Amino acid sequence: MLIDFEMNFNKTMKEKLKAMLETGVHFGHQVRRWNAKMAPYIYEEKNGIHILDIVQTVDELEKARIAFKKAKNVVFVGTRPQIAPVIKNIAEECNAHYVNTRWVGGLLTNWSTISACIQNLNDLDKLLEQDPKTTGLTKKELVQKEKEMERKDKFFGGVRQLSSLPDLVVIVGQPHERNAVLECQKLNIPTITLLDSNCDPSYTTYGIPANDDSTRSVEFILKQLVS
Amino acid sequence: MSFAHRVSTQFASTTTRSISKNTATKKSTLSSSSRKSVGVRAVITEPVASAENKAAYDDFSGMLGDYLVDYKVGDKIMGKVSAMNTKGAYVDIGGKAPALCPTVECSLASVRNAAAVFDEGQEYEFEIVKGDDGEGSMTLSVRKIQLEAAWERCRQAQADDLALSSEVLSVNRGGILVEVENLRGFIPQSHLGPRLALGDRDELVGQTLPVKFIEVDEEKNRLVASHRLATDLVSGEGLDVGDVVTGIVQAVKPYGAFVDVGGQSGLLHISQISHERIVAVENVLSPGDELKVLILSKDKERGRLSLSTKKLEPNHGDMLRNPSLVYEKAEEMGKLFRERVAAAEAAAEGGSPTDEVVASSDE
């Protein structure tokens, strides 16, 4: 399966390029929807859409990989419904944190409050694991707690174990995740971003030119990143 | 690499965007980094390649051609279903983003969700309904393809005179509505088989009937079928002009009576019942009556029979006064009729010379 393609091990450039073409990494958006700053990363225009320069992708991916290996606390961010499951799977596989439903405003910049929320969620988890009789709560209260837990789980489920600000944030779908991008900028947290032709490369530390709309493409790049 | 990168390779360094006075603190304010306008309009240029990269770029451009897709509205393509949700099915067609096949467009028959029709990971044929909406995703449809195929099957069935199975949807004044090949069709009252017309029509809803097509017009969206044609195994064979047969009256109309003979329905016109003038058909005949009739003519294409009891009357007016006498003499009268017809034909043939010429030139 293409997804198991190991970029690093003894693959020729041609094979790497082929693998990326197969998964559709090279597709950009329509020409008129580009961000002019992406000009260096765009190879050409064909049939009204921009083609990303995936020869550069190979190098950028390698740099990002090295950075990823060094980092300890990593958060994957991708909230669009199509790629949400991919984000979750990848993050769980490498024991990282993730945000795949709405990025709660202030998750990083308002860390003191958010960490309290996360703590609350963990406490609720423990509470609901207990035998109902030992909790000392009525049935109704327990149901309320459950609802609370579900709601918090929806937003913070992926960052349950996050105890301090992350070292690295991986963002998929930069125009959509504006809040996350700006928070990382404010706090000088390095980011790895999949840059589509409508993204802004100046808002990221490690930009990987790649198609961020297709599940296959995102899965491929992220798998290479974490391997 | 000799490309204009705006990224730095140090792990913990700050990004180029933030300008802070004190780099030691984590929380540096984001300066009002109003977007510096790009002085020179950015243009995409050919990447400046070093020696080792040149080979890579050659490979790239060589292979790129195979992976570009250019789909237009109306194209029929194969696609793999990757995910399904309430909106529909997401199909991977090799483009930038997966295309969506909305639930309503997943099948000709109405389905509640896409999962009923598709299996995840399987390939199916789709038609592109809407093109690139700016984000790279298109809208697909299976329904359109199925619609065309269904009409084609109906046309074929009409051409080959095949009977297809249909399900009765509802009953109305002129006939009944059926669903055949997932299309809505209409069977006129006159084209219902004999066993059905007498029974309670409302009970028909939900039943399966074999039908043959009379009219298949896709543009006008007209689909007219006939149950009678499908059930008449003989389709008029065995019943020749001049035959005397027993029939049961099905329906009585102001202009005559519909009589079922040997599975076929024929019209016994008011003028053909008796030599004497009949004011109202219902005075003479009523549904369920059994009588002997003579077949006057056959219209095979329309499946119509013209019947007569007038010719069977030994004396004029017997149908009204003495029907049983008519029935007894029916066979004889029928025979007489046939002889008269044969004689008339022979006379016509033997008569004019032109007829002879025509007759001889025909094989």
* Candidates A27, A46, A80, A110, partner chain B, best to mutate (most B CBs within 10 A): A27
Terminal alpha carbon distance of chain B: 91
Residues 92-111 on A with a CB inside 8 Å of B are none
Residues B73-89 have pLDDT tens digits of 888 888 888 888 888 88
In this structure, CATH architecture of domain B244-357: Beta Barrel (2.40)
Higher confidence at residue A12 or residue A184? A184
Residues 11-50 on A with a CB inside 8 Å of B are 13-14, 17-18, 21-22, 24, 26-30, 33, 36-37, 39-40, 42-50
Among B11, B63, B98, select the one facing A21 at the smallest CB separation. Answer: B63
Is the pLDDT reported for residue A127 higher than 70?
yes
Do A74 and A6 share a structural domain? Answer: yes
Which residues, listed in sequence order, are joined to residue B291 by a DSSP beta bridge? B247
Q: Do A186 and B27 touch (CB under 8 A)?
A: yes
Query: In angstroms, rounded to a whole number, what is the distance separating the alpha carbons of residues A60 and A64?
Result: 6
Higher confidence at residue A86 or residue B206? A86
* Candidates B41, B96, B100, partner chain A, best to mutate (most A CBs within 10 A): B96
Residues 146-175 on A with a CB inside 8 Å of B are 165
DSSP assigned state of A159: G
DSSP assigned state of B171: E
Q: Residue B5: what pLDDT?
A: 43
Residue A210 sits at φ, ψ, to 5 deg, of -165, 160
Q: Where are the alpha helices (DSSP H) in A132-214?
A: 132-135, 139-156, 178-187
- Tell me which of A76-80, A158-162, B78-82, B326-330 is least confident: B326-330
Among B14, B59, B95, select the one facing A13 at the smallest CB separation. Answer: B59
- Tell me which of A99-103, A117-121, B135-139, B269-273 is least confident: B135-139
Tell me the shortest Cα–Cα distance from B82 to chain A, in angstroms.
9
Q: Do A188 and B14 touch (CB under 8 A)?
A: yes
Range of the domain at A92: 2-105+165-226
Give chain A's domain count.
2
- Tell me which of A56-60, A192-196, B1-5, B335-339 is least confident: B1-5
Q: Do A43 and B12 touch (CB under 8 A)?
A: no
Do A176 and A140 share a structural domain? Answer: no
Using a CB-CB cut-off of 8 Å, the residues of chain B touching A187 are 26-27
Do A116 and A99 share a structural domain? Answer: no
The superfamily in CATH containing domain B164-230 is Nucleic acid-binding proteins (2.40.50.140)
Minimum CA–CA partner of B132 in chain A = A30
Do A182 and A84 share a structural domain? Answer: yes
Domain boundary among A142, A159, A176: A159
Q: Do A47 and B70 touch (CB under 8 A)?
A: yes
Minimum CA–CA partner of B54 in chain A = A55
Q: Write out the two tokens for B230.
A: 């499908």
Do A189 and A143 share a structural domain? Answer: no
Q: Do A82 and B27 touch (CB under 8 A)?
A: no
Tell me the shortest Cα–Cα distance from B99 to chain A, in angstroms.
10
Pinpoint the residues of chain B covered by CATH 2.40.50.140: 76-141, 164-230, 244-357
> Given CB atoms, is A215 within the 8 Å cutoff of chain B?
yes
pTM: 0.64
Do A193 and A146 share a structural domain? Answer: no
Q: Residue B347: what pLDDT?
A: 83
pLDDT band of residue A174 (cuts 50, 70, 90) is: very high
Q: What are the CB-based long-range contacts (under 8 Å, 24+) for B161-165?
A: B161/B212, B162/B212, B163/B210, B163/B211, B163/B212, B163/B229, B163/B230, B164/B210, B164/B211, B164/B212, B164/B213, B165/B208, B165/B209, B165/B210, B165/B211
* Candidates B14, B44, B86, partner chain A, best to mutate (most A CBs within 10 A): B44
Q: Which of A31, A129, A81, A36 is nearest to B35 (CA)?
A: A36
Do A8 and A74 share a structural domain? Answer: yes
**CB atoms near residue B216 (< 10 Å):** 20
Do A122 and A17 share a structural domain? Answer: no
Contact between B257 and B281 under an 8 Å Cβ cutoff? The reply is yes
Query: In angstroms, rounded to a whole number, what is the distance separating the alpha carbons of residues B146 and A198?
Result: 38
Q: How would you write the pLDDT of chain B (363 residues) with one tens digit per residue?
A: 444 444 434 443 444 444 444 444 444 344 444 444 445 555 666 655 566 678 888 888 888 887 777 778 888 888 888 888 888 888 888 778 888 888 888 887 777 887 778 888 888 888 888 877 766 778 888 888 888 888 888 888 888 878 788 888 888 878 888 888 888 888 887 777 766 654 556 677 777 888 888 888 888 888 888 887 777 654 445 577 778 888 888 888 888 888 888 767 788 888 888 888 888 888 888 888 888 888 888 776 666 788 888 888 877 877 777 777 777 777 888 888 888 888 888 888 765 444 444 444 444
- Tell me which of A64-78, A91-105, A130-144, B296-310 is least confident: B296-310
- The complex scores an ipTM of 0.72
Do A83 and A47 share a structural domain? Answer: yes
Could you give the dihedral angle defined by the CA atoms of residues B16, B20, B25 and B27, in that order, rounded to the nearest 10 degrees? -80
**DSSP run (H or E) holding A168:** strand A168-172
Q: Which of A86, A88, A91, A109 is nearest to A181 (CA)?
A: A109
Q: Residue B111: what pLDDT?
A: 78
Q: Which of A220, A226, A225 is nearest to A207 (CA)?
A: A225
Using a CB-CB cut-off of 8 Å, the residues of chain A touching B8 are 205
Do A169 and A129 share a structural domain? Answer: no
Considering the four listed CATH numbers 3.40.640.10, 2.40.50.140, 2.40.50.40, 1.20.1260.10, the one that applies to the domain covering B76-141 is 2.40.50.140
Minimum CA–CA partner of A45 in chain B = B44
pLDDT band of residue A74 (cuts 50, 70, 90) is: very high
Minimum CA–CA partner of A15 in chain B = B59
Tell me the shortest Cα–Cα distance from B136 to chain A, in angstroms.
7
Do A100 and A36 share a structural domain? Answer: yes
Q: Which of B193, B190, B187 is nearest to B168 (CA)?
A: B187
Is the pLDDT reported for residue A48 higher than 90?
no
> What mean pLDDT value characterizes chain A?
90
Do A64 and A120 share a structural domain? Answer: no
- Tell me which of A13-17, A140-144, B19-23, B130-134 is least confident: B19-23
